[in-house]
Structure 1
Amino acid sequence: MGTYAAVVLAGGAARRMGGVDKPALPVGGRSMRDRVLAAVDDAAPRVLVGPGDGVADGVRVTREDPPGGGPVAATAAGLALLDPDTTLVALLAADLPLLTRAAIGDLLTHLAPAGSSSPVNPGSTTPLAGTGTAGPESVDGVCFVDADGRRQSLCGVWRVAALRTGLARLAAERGGSLAGAPVRGLLAGLAVREVPWAGDGPPPWFDCDTDEDVRRAEEWVR
């Protein structure tokens, strides 16, 4: 699958759940945050953006500026801790308790190595967003889509250079601040391959925004 890094975003306010530390909530006896970090335990480095109490050894921890500034500000903080030669990064929400290494591996097979003009999986029939064709075009990132075609942008793998370009453009458009910026603004203009989940088991992109979501995830992991 090649070398990649991982940035896990864990600084959300969880307003629909009363402002709890949502990534710290257990599913199947393990916090959602730790489940996501375990799904990328072959990534180097792994970066957590958010509260780092009890995080595993070797995970780099930082906070977005300002704290609570949203996923784009958190992405910028996470990328700042990557090694200079990192070319690919899994960008993940911390509330994905059903994420697996197999799912991350599936995403990586759809992304060409840095500098390549062909996807790793040249036989893929997954279209590029906005192009309607699989072709040999180089892509800037891949992410899952749900059964209704909604892009799960924070369950994807991206070229670091493309994300940094997007961050710089968005910061310039917003007077230097990334606080509150939407993820769709960060990814605007990127060539994205959208991948439906075809593996066994529950969808790895399932995120827990409500107490009911957490209960559903608990049922899936039993």
Structure 2
Amino acid sequence: MAFAGIVLAGGDARRLSGVDKPMLPVGGTTLLAKALGALAGARAVVVVGPERTGLPELPALTRVRERPAGSGPVAALAAGLAALPAVEVVVALAADLTGVSVSTVDKLRGALASAGGADGAVLLDGGGHRQWLIGAWRTESLRAALPADPIGASLRRTLGGLSLVEVGAEPGESGDVDTPADLDRARRAARGH
């Protein structure tokens, strides 16, 4: 089944002193490149965030920005959806993930396909928390869930009412970088320490 991807690559990284978090190198590649690599096989990929250089050259890569810039993940998701071609399934990923891979995307898509009428499949971290930006979604369900005004809307409130399949994460698979300690831990893990 054809799918498309959206990578949310905005945000202000306050806990990391405002650094361009998606462009941080971990294990020889940037976090954004890691997210893009996890979407290999997607019919199209949309990166929502500021203009950046040094992104991998992908034939079906589109770059957009939520309006206004910095108006939150629901607004970014809406901007990404608006830029996608017609596909049945969209995989949404954050651009600060350290453990996401092609196999993560494949298992989410497989769980959604085998779930019948579910609207989406989301990864559960080791603590049992839904990772809203590691998910596969039926495109029409995702569009229908978006509020008329997505600016500043809560991602959990927007997506939480949908019918979901929860998919358990392998150790480290749901890891992300929010703090300097997270970045240090991710870099040590990438070096095998």
TM range (shorter): over 0.9
Q: Which amino acid aligns with 2:138?
A: R
Alignment of 1:5-154 (within 5 A): 5-53=4-52, 54-57=54-57, 58=59, 59-84=61-86, 86-112=87-113, 119=115, 137-154=116-133
- 1:176-209 CA-partner distances (Å, limit 9, x unpaired): x3111110121132001111124xxx42211110
Distance 1:188 1:143, change over 3 A: closer
Paired with 1:110 and 1:91, the residues of 2 have a C-alpha distance of 15
Shift of 1:150: 0.8
TM-fit CA distance, 1:8 = 0.1
Unmatched runs of 5 consecutive residues or more in structure 1? 113-117, 120-136, 172-176
* 1:219 CA displacement: 1.8
1:33 maps to amino acid: L
Q: Deviations over 1:8-37 (max 9, x none)?
A: 000111111111111111101211001110
The whole-number CA distance in structure 2 between the counterparts of 1:75 and 1:82 is: 11
8 Å Cα contact 1:144-1:194 kept in structure 2: yes
What is the RMSD of the two structures over their aligned residues, measured on CA atoms?
1.3
Gaps of 5+ in 2: none
CA distance in 1, matches of 2:50, 2:29: 16
Aligned mates of 1:188, 1:150 — CA distance in 2: 12
Structure 1 counterpart SS, 2:111: coil
Q: CA deviation at 1:55?
A: 2.0
Paired AA for residue 107 in structure 1: L
Q: TM-score, normalised by structure 2?
A: 0.92
- SS of 2:2's equivalent in the other structure is coil
Show the counterpart of 2:155: 183
Q: Identity of aligned pairs, percent?
A: 44
Q: Report the AA paired with residue 67 of structure 1.
A: A
1:132 is matched with: none
Q: Tell me whether 1:206 sits opposite 2:183 in the alignment.
A: no
Distance 1:164 1:185 in 2: 14
Query: Over alpha carbons, which structure has the higher Rg?
Result: 1
- Contact 1:163–1:186 (CA under 8 A) maintained in structure 2: no
Separation (CA, whole Å) in 2 of partners of 1:157 and 1:42 = 14
> TM-score w.r.t. structure 1 length?
0.81
For residues 97 and 63 of structure 2, the distance between their equivalents in structure 1, rounded to whole angstroms, comes to 18
Q: How many angstroms does 1:97 deviate by?
A: 2.2
1:193 lines up with 2:165 in the alignment: yes
Separation (CA, whole Å) in 1 of partners of 2:172 and 2:2: 24
